[in-house]
């Protein structure tokens, strides 16, 4: 994720009446098929507080999560995708990232097991397939996959900033609520997805905002194998709460 500069920082948002999908007792009904029998529905759009979004669990197993978490921590490049800025979003955290291209290069050089680089690629492809299936799309072209790790460096708990400000993935949110699609906004994106790999950190909840990006409407704690899929436009504005301890 590059080009955050012109995104508005909405740090003083209301955290009023949000939904915590994991606290809902009603089972979520999937809108489209799940990729395989291990995958379980966590929340549909109703439970996620808006259209074009879903979350499932068990999309990766514990071993896969461990392998990729270790890979991200050991090989993730500081400031990758942010012109090498080690703390691009907040001074309280470090950001590391690894593209599939870089992962493949490391495998070719023998610096990482081919199996791990292949796992990264395979899961990325499965995520694409799941998003395509769930939203019943005729085609969904992959644009970019990033294996990223955000690490708390100050362990400060009373932060007023976010780990990642509320933003949309295919346009630049403006203070007046509009979202500008220009050259730097990755405007061709239609859907985004995140596969979480760990939960041993404090904070770092994924949050989604209302269509004016004024109020947080949902928050969700990451964990191994949890997958969130959503539209890339401003109706699916989202961000990350501060990580106050550990690596996410
Ligand atoms: O990691 C997350 O929960 C969200 C990441 C995100 O929104 C992004 O990279 O654009
Ligand atoms: Fe995003």
Per-residue pLDDT of 194-208, as tens digits, reads: 999 999 999 999 999
Q: Are 68 and 96 in contact (CB under 8 A)?
A: no
Query: What is the distance in A from the centroid of ligand 2 to the CA of 50?
Result: 16
Residue at 202 is within a domain: yes
Residue at 5 is within a domain: no
Report the chain's terminal Cα–Cα distance, integer Å.
16
Query: What is the distance in A from the centroid of ligand 1 to the CA of 109?
Result: 29
C-alpha dist (Å) from residue 147 to 9, 10, 77 = 24, 25, 10
Sign of the torsion formed by the C-alpha atoms of 73, 78, 80 and 82: positive
Q: Are 179 and 171 in contact (CB under 8 A)?
A: yes
Taken as a whole, the chain contains a residue count of 248
Q: List the structure tokens of 119.
A: 């796992």
How does pLDDT run across 88-131, given as a tens digit for each residue? 999 999 999 999 999 999 999 999 999 999 999 999 999 999 99
CB under 6 Å to ligand 1: residues?
A: 1, 164, 169, 194, 206, 238, 240
How many domains are contained in the chain?
1
Query: What is the distance in A from the centroid of ligand 1 to the CA of 239?
Result: 6
Residue at 174 is within a domain: yes
CATH number at 44 reads 2.60.120.620
Residue 248 annotated to the active site? yes
ipTM: 0.99
Across 11-25, 136-150, 175-189, the highest mean pLDDT is recorded for 136-150
Residue at 6 is within a domain: no
The pLDDT-based confidence of 24 (bands split at 50, 70, 90) is low
Q: Which atom number of ligand 1 is nearest to the Cα of residue 146?
A: 9
């Amino acid at each position: 994720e590059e080009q955050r500069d012109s995104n508005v920082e909405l740090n003083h948002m209301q955290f009023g009446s949000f939904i915590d999908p994991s606290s809902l007792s009603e089972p979520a009904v999937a809108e489209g098929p799940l990729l395989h029998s291990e995958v379980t529905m966590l929340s549909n759009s109703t439970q996620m507080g808006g259209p074009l979004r879903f979350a499932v669990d068990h999309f990766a197993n514990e071993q896969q999560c461990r392998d990729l978490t270790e890979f991200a921590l050991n090989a993730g490049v500081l400031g990758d995708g942010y012109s090498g800025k080690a703390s691009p979003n907040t001074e309280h955290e470090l950001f590391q990232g690894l593209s599939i291209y870089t992962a493949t290069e490391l495998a070719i050089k023998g610096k990482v097991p081919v199996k791990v680089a292949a796992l990264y690629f395979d899961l990325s492809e499965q995520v694409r397939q799941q998003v395509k299936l769930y939203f019943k799309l005729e085609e969904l072209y992959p644009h970019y996959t990033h294996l990223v790790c955000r690490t708390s460096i100050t362990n400060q708990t009373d932060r007023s900033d976010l780990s990642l400000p509320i933003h949309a993935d295919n346009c630049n949110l403006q203070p007046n609520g509009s979202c500008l699609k220009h050259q730097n906004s990755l405007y061709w994106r239609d859907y985004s997805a995140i596969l979480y790999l760990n939960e041993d950190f404090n904070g770092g909840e994924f949050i989604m905002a209302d269509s004016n990006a004024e109020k947080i409407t949902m928050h969700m704690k990451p964990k191994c194998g949890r997958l969130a899929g959503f539209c890339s436009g401003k109706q699916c504005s989202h961000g990350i709460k501060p990580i106050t301890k550990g690596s996410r």
